[in-house]
Structure formats: structure tokens, C-alpha cells
Amino acid sequence: MNIRELSYSRHFLVVADGKHFPEKAYQAASLFAKAFAKGLTLLALGDASEEFINKAESKGQEADYPFIFESCQGTLVDVCDLSERTETPIIFFEITKKGTYSNPMNIFKGLRDLRIPFVMVKEDTSKIDFSNIIVPIGYLPEEKEKAPYSSNMGRFLHSEILLLKANDYGSKTAKNVESIRSLFDKFNLKYEIRKAVNDSFKVEKEAVSIAAKENAGMVIISTSRDYGLDDMFFGPKELHILKATTVPLMCINPRGDLYVLCW
């Protein structure tokens, strides 16, 4: 099948290479599918091995939500197009030690224009559990884009949320936190606001460093606005955060057309 022929509506999407079965990413996506009462599509970009197909078919038989498995040729640009056409809420990837998705930088670059969050899950993640999540907040206006996604996790996955407020001078971070707090209060969510040790430039890395101690199962981060020379040579901040994390990362691309910029 050509990826442009693939059709579904509002399924959570797991993307794999057809060789390594993304067990942990699938577990994460299945929690979302069940909680939101939506379907799940497993997409192998490339020819799927017989072992992969057998596992996918087994998952389909066990699933108590709408499930689709397809194997087709395509690129991450095609995946971005697919997500808009099918109103995909979130895309999940499993980061492996070997294989197509062993270099997460290729994913970050390939999804620069993605309008929805994508979740990166390492294959050696010990446990998939979103009972507690951490949302680090800095001073940039697009930090508020973390609000609707963390709010939905609180509402549907019943996640307890730690808002980690960057230790900044000025009022921008405080205003972001207050906007997010206002949304959380509308839904009576369980959350805590805590002042971080670090400023906006390091608060996301601080969040992943305390995730295990806080029993958090996910950290929500923003990706870089642009890649400068340092990013080209040493990697952007999201790559360093991913290397440091032991829990899944939900990544949100900053865009000039985000509705939260009007808050």
C-alpha cells in the first residue's frame, strides 16, 4: 500500500521500521487509545518482517480498541502529511540501540513541520505508566502549548501533574504558569506547582533528572525554534534531554501559528 492511500480517523499512530517491534511505544500509545476511546494504527515504514507481522496481528487480536496495521513505503515527511489528513492526535516512536530509529536526530529533523506532539520512548524504558507526569515551564510564549496536552492527560489518563516553574527573573514564566493553572482549574485537575532550581534554559533537563524520584512516567518538552551552529555541531537541547531521560518524552514543536500564542 502507498502511504497516501492509508486512511483512518483520529487514531493514535505508532511508527516503526518493520523489523524491530516497538513494544514500549505500543504500550504507551495503547494507554492513550484506551483512555481517549480512540483507535490505534501501527505503521511499518518499509517491508515488515514475518516476526513483526505476527506480533502486529497478535496485538490486533488482543486490542479492545479499533486497530489497524499497515506496512508501506514512505518518509517522515509523508508521516506528517498523513497525520494532518487523518487528524492523528499524537505519533509515537521507539528509540532503539540499533536500526532505523537508533538516531533520534533524524526524527527531530524529519518532524520539524509536524503540528501535533510526538512521543519518543526508549526501548529499554522500564515501565510505561502515566499516573504522574512533569511539565517544565519556561518564559517563551509557546511553553503554554504544553497546557492542553498535559490537561488532556490529567482528564483522560488521570495523570497527576507537576508543573516545574523555571527559576527566572521577570514575569514571563509566572504568567505562563498562571495561564496553565487557569486551564487546569477548569477541569479540577490534580497538580502541583514547584519552583525549579534552574532557569528556562535548563528546566527541561532538570525535569528528566528528577523524573525517577518523582515517580513520573513522562516529561513534556518543547523542541528548538531553530537550529543554530552549536545545534548543528553538538545537537539541539531536545537531543541532550532525550539522551538523559529514562522516561518517555512528549515533544511539541514551537510554531508561529499556535493558538496559545494569543493567550
The pTM (predicted TM-score) of the whole model is 0.95
Cβ proximity of 28 and 92 under 8 Å: yes
Q: What are the backbone dihedrals phi and psi of residue 118, each rounded to the nearest 5 degrees, phi first?
A: -130, 145
Q: How far is CA 213 from CA 125, 209, 220, 237, 240, in A?
A: 15, 8, 17, 22, 20
242 and 143 part of one domain: yes
> How many alpha carbons lie under 13 Å from residue 111 in its C-beta half-sphere?
29
Domain match, 142 and 247 both: yes
Confidence band, pLDDT 50/70/90 cuts, at residue 256: low
Q: In angstroms, rounded to a whole number, what is the distance separating the alpha carbons of residues 144 and 261?
A: 8
Q: Does 145 lie in the same domain as 106?
A: no
pLDDT at 116: 97
Q: How far apart are CA 41 and CA 44, in angstroms?
A: 10
Same domain, 48 and 116: yes
**pLDDT (0 to 100) of residue 5:** 86
Same domain, 115 and 40: yes
Mean pLDDT estimate for the chain = 94
Last residue within a domain, chosen from 103, 122, 141: 122
For 258, the grid coordinates are: 499556535
- Domain of residue 160, residue span: 132-262
Mean pLDDT of 134-144: 97
Task: Dig out the grid coordinates for 77 from the structure.
Answer: 515527511
Angle between helices 237-244 and 203-210 (to 10 degrees): 10
**Per-residue confidence at 37, pLDDT binned at 50, 70, 90?**
very high
Check pLDDT > 70 for residue 215: yes
Query: In the structure, what pLDDT confidence band is assigned to residue 258 with cuts at 50, 70 and 90?
Result: low
109 shares a domain with 146: no
What the block records as the C-alpha cell of 138 is 519556561
Domain assignment present for 127: no
Residue with cell 532503539: 96
Percentage of the chain modeled with pLDDT above 70: 96
pLDDT higher than threshold 70 for residue 73: yes
258 and 197 in one domain?
A: yes
* Residue 159 and residue 252 share a domain: yes
Asked whether residue 205 falls in the same domain as residue 231, the answer is yes
Tens of pLDDT, residue by residue over 179-211, are: 999 999 999 999 999 999 999 999 999 999 999
Quick one: pLDDT at residue 263? 47
The answer to whether residue 87 scores a pLDDT higher than 60 is yes
3-state secondary structure 134-195: EEEECCCHHHHHHHHHHHHHHHHCCCEEEEEECCCCCCHHHHHHHHHHHHHHHCCCCEEEEE
- Count the domains in the chain: 2
Domain limit, last residue, from 97, 122, 147: 122
CATH of the domain at 9: 3.40.50.620
Residue 261 predicted with pLDDT over 50: no
Measured between alpha carbons, how far is 217 from 159 in angstroms, rounded to an integer? 9
Averaged pLDDT, 117-124: 98
Domain boundary residue, one of 81, 97, 122: 122
Confidence band of 228 (pLDDT split at 50, 70, 90): confident
